[in-house]
Amino acid sequence: MPRLALLQSKTFASKAEAFDHHETLIRKAAADGAQIVATQELFLTPYFCTVENTDLFDLADPLPGPVTDRLGKLAAELGIVLISSLFEHRGPGLYHNTAAIHDADGSLLGLYRKSHIPQDPGFEEKFYFTPGDSGWPVWDTAFGKIGVLICWDQWYPEAARLMALGGAQLLIYPTAIGWLPEEKPTLGDAQHCAWETVQRGHAVANGCYLAAINRSGTHDGTEFWGRSFIANPYGEIAAKASTENEEILMHEINFKNVEDFRRIWPFFRDRRIDAYGDLTKRWRS
């Protein structure tokens, strides 16, 4: 049974400091037995999407490139599957919110580019990120079949379902979500409840494990929720982090539970694939 580690951390002053600190966390997680390690969303940078500023495009990196080279060497040295969330400079004026997936031998299995891009006060992501075109890949790693989605993707059952249909036993969601000061007193608890509940529902509907890794701390007025969690196929919270603290959240993943659950509740068998054509429409009128 592979052990999964989620790295819930804060914001750092520079990319170099963030990388060095996360390398320390990755090494500690591996030393404690982790075989799959995942970072929070955009772990090298602040959550810079609170404002629209063209200078902030300078934070992006080419992928593959020096960043993925360093991550790959680390994965190979430690013998871990490493999932990292990065700001990608793909081409002139073209940027993505991207996850890199390294296998336990250090090879870069590929990239997933965030598909659903939000636009809200304090989350100005459409200014920075082009919607992903990588499809819904599932990575057959040394420690299981893993689907990786990013933050706003976590609200969409279609994305989770497509990755589960591709064979994913574990869905991982690097995340940066928090409260705005003006909303927290009246909506804070409800917002967090919705975020956690919809993802637990994805675990149940697809009979798989699900892990969400969030930031902690406050930056540019956003108070990140923390509360990273791992849910089993029944949607039960198997492990959960605190709100404020940096934590390495660990849990053993028993993939036999995935097959057992899908035999008892055969949702894939009973899907009416002949009747869902309207899902490809924007709206039914």
Distance CA 194, CA 145 (A): 27
Respond yes or no on whether the N-terminal peptide bond of residue 266 is cis (omega within 30° of 0): no
Q: In Å, what is the CA distance from 4 to each residue of 138, 239, 252?
A: 17, 11, 6
Residue labelled with tokens 């660990």: 250
Q: Convert the pLDDT of each residue in 127-176 to its tens digit.
A: 999 999 999 999 999 999 999 999 999 999 999 999 999 999 999 999 99
Strands 209-213 and 178-179, bridge-based pairing: unpaired
Distance CA 253, CA 170 (A): 9
Q: Show me where the domains of the chain are located.
A: 3-269
Task: Give residue 215's pLDDT.
Answer: 96
Instruction: Judge whether 41 counts as a catalytic residue.
Output: yes
> Region 97-120: what's the mean pLDDT?
98
What letter does residue 2 receive in the DSSP assignment? P
What letter does residue 234 receive in the DSSP assignment? T
Task: Give residue 19's pLDDT.
Answer: 98
Closest CA to 223 of 201, 262, 191, 256: 191
Q: Convert the pLDDT of each residue in 16-50 to its tens digit.
A: 999 999 999 999 999 999 999 999 999 999 999 99
HEC string for 79-126: CCEEEEEEEEEEECCEEEEEEEEECCCCCEEEEEECCCCCCECCECHH
Closest CA to 246 of 2, 4, 12: 12
Catalytic residue among 41, 88, 125, 223: 41
Tokens of 102: 């390294």
Q: What are phi and psi of 5, to 5 degrees?
A: -125, 130
Q: In Å, what is the CA distance from 64 to each residue of 3, 38, 67, 110, 132?
A: 27, 18, 7, 9, 16
Element spanning 3, H or E: strand 3-8
Q: Convert the pLDDT of each residue in 46-80 to its tens digit.
A: 999 999 999 999 999 999 999 999 999 999 999 99
Tell whether the model's pLDDT for residue 115 goes beyond 90: yes
**Whether the predicted model's global pTM rises above the 0.95 cut:** yes
Closest CA to 89 of 66, 123, 119, 69: 66
Catalytic residue among 10, 49, 114, 145: 114
Task: Give residue 21's pLDDT.
Answer: 98
Tell whether the model's pLDDT for residue 192 goes beyond 90: yes
Catalytic residue among 10, 49, 151, 196: 151
| Long-range contacts, 158-162 (Cβ 8 Å, 24+) | 158/279, 159/115, 159/116, 160/202, 160/205, 160/206, 160/210, 161/205, 161/206, 162/136
> Region 185-204: what's the mean pLDDT?
97
Q: Convert the pLDDT of each residue in 236-270 to its tens digit.
A: 999 999 999 999 999 999 999 999 999 999 999 99
Tell whether the model's pLDDT for residue 285 goes beyond 90: no
- Write down the CATH number for the domain with range 3-269: 3.60.110.10
